[in-house]
Structure 1
Amino acid sequence: MTDDRLRIDLERVLRSRLGDRRMRWIPRRLIAWLERLICQREMNEVLDHAGHLRGAEFCHAALDHLSVSYTTTAEQRLPDTTRVIIASNHPLGGLDGITLIDWAARRYGCQPIVMVNDLLMAITPLAGVFLPINKHGAQSREASEAVDRAFASDRPVIMFPAGLCSRQLPGGTIADLRWRPTFVNRALRSGRTIVPVRFSGINSPSFYRFARLRQRSGLKLNIEMALLPREVFRHRGSHFEIRIGHPITPESIAGGRPQTIADQIRTTVYTL
């Protein structure tokens, strides 16, 4: 294998950002700890196995490497069109997206589009299916036009309306936070049918504890994202279920309040 293969190298990234002078002040033990935290070795093993592939093919190979499988329930409910918005809960924050990409490509026979945090564009094998959204500032005109083109296309669009993976809610329930109504507005504007989906699975208790500590500290930055690679590898050998709800046509929700509709669809998803 050549040296130009796709690799994750945290030390090289830090050196490129900080320079050699500042890097001298960072203990090698700290770098090694960060590499273990983000599961650098394990992620590079996945890239060795699937890094030459792109889009849904990469996702399928990654699932194969991790021995992850899934089944679907009520797939007969899906409409006979690729112009759908698959609105799913987001229990895992990584592996659920990879699995839904694989499933959607198999079901619809084309590469889906997934709206994601623009930070995830660093995952180059998925650049062709990821549609970046800037969650911390205004969208550029170019980015907004790319979103419009995506919804005008015939490719299915996968959205996680909560905007981040599930958290432990007051009372101990693990579920998404309130869904944002963007997917409802986009369905109305583009004439797409919404397909509600519930994806099974939860992350480890330590992930939710860390998220609660971060929230109590008042820190706004979602630093628990750094723990998501570990959650991916914790689910090696897992089996997931994709439960499909009844499709919702844009005509059936026209005139309604988008946030109210989003709340209702979220409730429906958790009854699937």
Structure 2
Amino acid sequence: MAKPAKYIDIEQVIAKKSPGLRRWMPGFLISFLRSVLHEKDINHTMQVIGHLQGLDFCDGLMKHMNVTIAVEGLENIPETGGVIIASNHPLGGLDGITLMHAVGQKRTDLQFLVNDILLNVENLRPLFVPVNKHGPNGRAIAQLIEQTYAKDIPVLVFPAGMVSRMQNGEIADLEWKKSFVSKAIKYQKDIVPVFVDGTNSKFFYNLARFRKMLGISANLEMFLLPKEMFRQRNRKITITFGKSISWEKLNDTQKNHQQWADELRKQVYAMAKK
């Protein structure tokens, strides 16, 4: 009997990206990485739903993991025309999947600005617009981002650009970048704020805090995100869409673009307390 297709092989990925590093790494470390990155779970999941694309893939993944959502305020998304949907980023995996699924109930023409590394998830490429989170975007990518904002479609963004962290005893996004506000004004698109309810494990937040204490700039906790995603099995995630903020209001000269980004972030977390 032929072996099931293997969609990801950590050892091969390392060998391809850095042959020297692979030669140095002992077998037990490869096994450890396979466990931490949930190679077996990812391959099994893809064997089940790997034939699906786009929003169908989102739906299939949620069903496979027995994840359900409760959606509030879906009527705040316009049925036609362009809109920017700005959300907090609590989970680093299923928040994006469930957000696309929720928006897809109203609009199937959505696109999501994401870390360019996520283009490796080929099943979701039709929905993704890549953004380089660790350096400047090249001219082609910058033009693609501009073209995306200019379209009459829902554009989904995580303005923080990274997963929520523990801050002053509370789990919340870091500062929201102002670019989505600037684009809303430039292309005359209203913004719908979104709150996604969810948290990662205490270990995830403690690792982030510990590596910062040690002065390590590398985002080590990122390697835990596959594990954190599979922790969400059998969970219910609540997604709340707030009232839209008009681009004309955002163009108010009493606040600059960063101040509006800060204000919208506050509004999102205020939605969590209602």
Provide the rounded CA distance (Å) in 2 between the counterparts of 1:154 and 1:2. 47
Provide the rounded CA distance (Å) in 2 between the counterparts of 1:3 and 1:17. 25
Provide the rounded CA distance (Å) in 1 between the counterparts of 2:167 and 2:23. 42
* Aligned equivalent of 1:76: 75
Letter in 2 for 1:129: L
Task: Name whichever of 147-156 and 3-12 sits farther off.
Answer: 3-12
SS at structure 1 position matched to 2:212: helix
Letter in 2 for 1:137: G
* Aligned equivalent of 1:158: 156
CA contact (8 A) 2:71 2:240 kept: yes
CA contact (8 A) 1:49 1:62 kept: no
* Aligned equivalent of 2:165: 167
Structure 2 length normalisation: TM-score? 0.93
Letter in 1 for 2:95: D
CA contact (8 A) 1:6 1:51 kept: no
Deviation per residue, 1:76-116 (Å, 9 max, x gap):
23333341111000110111001111111221133x21111
| Pick aligned residue for 1:218 from 201, 215, 220 | 215
Deviation of 1:22 after TM superposition, in Å, equals 5.8
Provide the rounded CA distance (Å) in 1 between the counterparts of 2:117 and 2:229. 18
Task: Name whichever of 73-82 and 52-61 sits farther off.
Answer: 73-82
Task: Name whichever of 23-32 and 253-262 sits farther off.
Answer: 23-32
Deviation of 1:186 after TM superposition, in Å, equals 0.9
* Aligned equivalent of 1:50: 49
Deviation per residue, 1:111-145 (Å, 9 max, x gap):
x2111111222111111111111122221111111
* Aligned equivalent of 1:7: 7
Deviation per residue, 1:143-202 (Å, 9 max, x gap):
1111111112222111011110110002x1111111111110111111111000000011
Deviation of 1:258 after TM superposition, in Å, equals 0.5
- C-alpha change, 1:82 and 1:222, in structure 2 (3 Å) is farther
* Aligned equivalent of 1:261: 260
Provide the rounded CA distance (Å) in 2 between the counterparts of 1:233 and 1:224. 15
CA contact (8 A) 1:67 1:238 kept: yes
> What 5-or-longer segments of structure 1 have no aligned partner?
none
* Aligned equivalent of 1:188: 185
> What 5-or-longer segments of structure 2 have no aligned partner?
none
Provide the rounded CA distance (Å) in 1 between the counterparts of 2:248 and 2:47. 47
Deviation of 1:3 after TM superposition, in Å, equals 7.3
Structure 1 length normalisation: TM-score? 0.93
Task: Name whichever of 159-168 and 6-15 sits farther off.
Answer: 6-15
CA contact (8 A) 2:14 2:21 kept: no
Letter in 1 for 2:14: L
Provide the rounded CA distance (Å) in 2 between the counterparts of 1:2 and 1:126. 27
Q: Which stretches of structure 1, 4 residues or more, deviate above 3 A after TM superposition?
A: 1-6, 21-25
Provide the rounded CA distance (Å) in 1 between the counterparts of 2:243 and 2:21. 56
Letter in 2 for 1:205: K
Provide the rounded CA distance (Å) in 2 between the counterparts of 1:39 and 1:4. 16
Provide the rounded CA distance (Å) in 2 between the counterparts of 1:71 and 1:125. 24
Deviation per residue, 1:29-62 (Å, 9 max, x gap):
1101000000111111111111111211111101
CA contact (8 A) 1:82 1:108 kept: no
Deviation of 1:221 after TM superposition, in Å, equals 1.9
Provide the rounded CA distance (Å) in 2 between the counterparts of 1:6 and 1:161. 34
- How many equivalent pairs are there? 269
* Aligned equivalent of 1:148: 146
Provide the rounded CA distance (Å) in 2 between the counterparts of 1:201 and 1:136. 25
Provide the rounded CA distance (Å) in 2 between the counterparts of 1:14 and 1:118. 18
Provide the rounded CA distance (Å) in 1 between the counterparts of 2:190 and 2:2. 45
